[in-house]
Amino acid sequence: MTKQISYVQLIFRQYWNSWINRFGLICVCFLFAVAIFSPLLSNDYPYFLKKNGKEYFPILTQIFPFSTWIHYADLEGIDFKKIVLEGDDRIVFPPIPYSPTEYNLDEPLVAPSSKHWMGTDEQGRDVTSRLVYGSQISLSVGFVAVGIYVLLGVIVGALAGYYGGKVDMIVSRAMEIIMCFPTFFLILAVLAFIGPSLYNIMFIIGITGWTGIARLVRADFLKLRNQDFVTAVIASGAKPVRVIFKHILPNTLAPVMVSASFGVASAILVESSLSYLGFGVQPPTPSWGDILSQSRDFMDIAWWLTIFPGVAIFITITAFNLVGEGLRDAIDPRLKTGQ
């Protein structure tokens, strides 16, 4: 008896076969790592401080801001950058020893150097740090918004395609109406009413974006519901929920995955565009679009303000698109068993 290889394992093997897929996935994983560990990567609080024979881990107060058990009363109000070290005193900073909101008016628009890897903006804030924290915003908007609309789209599309008839009629007309709205301007208009915030952006992208997914899923359901293997399941007495979600849905997931990863990319773009226009995440929260927006006024003297966030957005979107396309190929039903 051969060893059982689960479906997910099979897909992963298939996916991993191509170097471009590996590259895409590694980029996405890297982005996730940066987003998750940004407080450790970039912080104005040092990892470790030894002063007057006492040892401190000041960064912990930043990572767990509400904890009561890590509290250094004697460090309050200290500027770690200007601390004077004597004897065996030691201080260890994170790789990027700045916080994204820490301004320094003595160093505005400093070009990239060993001190500021990607330079500083007009308020002397470190661009590297802002990019690192901006990845949190981008990824969370991308994933939450797409998560909302994939869920909506799959359920609505599945019901429309499976039941057909009146249900399908109503859903299809609703989709057509929603698709007639110019989404970006709708988002702008709604944000003007309910106020720009991260959650509002996620919510609005989520409830306006589901039509594409729903159309894909509906079309596949229309095609699949009359297939013999579906009839066989119905003939064996399965309930509609089981037929829809266990038997038909897995066969429609390939285009949904592809569409979702393109969706993550475009949601990140929308968020950047909104921030660029000032309707996005509000300052001083760092966002890639916001850095780009600042760069407008200094494009001729501070190229780094344009290039680095632009490249970050470009790589992120490319990576998600690569993952989507790789998945599409890997989920193909004529899977080879792999090596």
Partner 1 sequence: MQNSMPLLEVKNLVKTFPVKGGFFGKTVGEVHALSGVSLFLGKGEIVGLVGESGCGKTTLGRTILKLTEPTDGKIIFHGKNITSYSAEQMRPLRREMQIVFQDPYASLNPRMTIGNAISEPLKVHKIVPRKELKEKVLELLSVVGLKEDAYYKYPHEFSGGQRQRIGIARALSVNPKLVVADEPVSALDVSIQAQIINLLSDLNQQFGLSLLFISHDLKVVRHISHRVMVMYLGRVMEVLDAGDLSEAKHPYTVSLLSAVPVADPKHKRKRIILAGDVPSPLNPPSGCVFHTRCPMAIERCKTEIPLLREAEKDNQVACHLV
Residue ranges that bind partner 1, judged by CB under 8 A: 1-5, 7, 227-229, 231-239, 242, 247, 250-251, 333-335, 337
- What the block records as the tokens of 269 is 């773009």
Cβ distance 303 to 181 under 8 Å? no
Which of 17/251 has CB closer to partner 1? 251
Please report how close the Cβ of residue 233 comes to partner 1 at its closest, in angstroms: 6
Q: At its nearest, how many Å lie between partner 1 and the CB of residue 320? A: 24
**At its nearest, how many Å lie between partner 1 and the CB of residue 230?**
8
Residue 75 and residue 51: Cα distance in Å, rounded? 10
* Structure-token match 């679009």, residue found: 289
Q: How many CA atoms lie within 13 A of 265 on its CB side?
A: 20
Structural contact between residues 290 and 281, judged by C-beta atoms closer than 8 angstroms: yes
Q: Which is nearer to partner 1, 116 or 225 (CB)?
A: 225
Nearer to partner 1, 221 or 308 (CB): 221
Of the pair 296, 336, the CB lying nearest partner 1 is at 336
Closer residue to partner 1 (CB): 52 or 236:
236
Q: Which residues of 77-95 are buried (b: 16+ CB within 10 A; e: fewer)?
A: eeebeeeeeeeeeebebbe
- Nearest residue (CB) to partner 1, 127 versus 249: 249
- Residue 165: CB minimum distance to partner 1, A: 11
Least distance (Å) between residue 331 CB and partner 1: 9
Where do the H-state alpha helices sit in 59-164?
59-63, 127-163
Of 170 and 186, nearer to partner 1 (C-beta) is: 170
Nearest distance, CB of residue 241 and partner 1, angstroms: 12
Q: What 8-state DSSP symbol labels residue 244?
A: I
Q: How far apart are CA 249 and CA 217, in angstroms?
A: 8
Q: For the chain, what percentages of helix, strand and coil (3-state, to nearest 5) are there? A: 65, 5, 30
Single out the residue of 251, 252, 261 nearest to residue 326, CA to CA.
261
- What is the DSSP secondary structure assignment for residue 3, as one 8-state letter? P
Phi, psi of 56 (to 5 degrees): -130, 155
Closest CA to 282 of 271, 298, 295: 271
The least distance separating partner 1 from the CB of residue 260, rounded to whole angstroms, comes to 18
Which residue in this structure is represented by tokens 């057509």? 176
**3-state class (DSSP) for residue 125:** coil
Distances from the Cα of 286 to the Cα of 40, 54, 99, 126, angstroms: 16, 34, 10, 11
Query: Closer to partner 1 at the Cβ: 88 or 228?
Result: 228
Smallest gap from residue 212 Cβ to partner 1 (A): 23
Q: How far is the CB of 61 from partner 1 (least distance, A)?
A: 50
Whichever of 67 and 231 has its CB closer to partner 1, that residue is 231
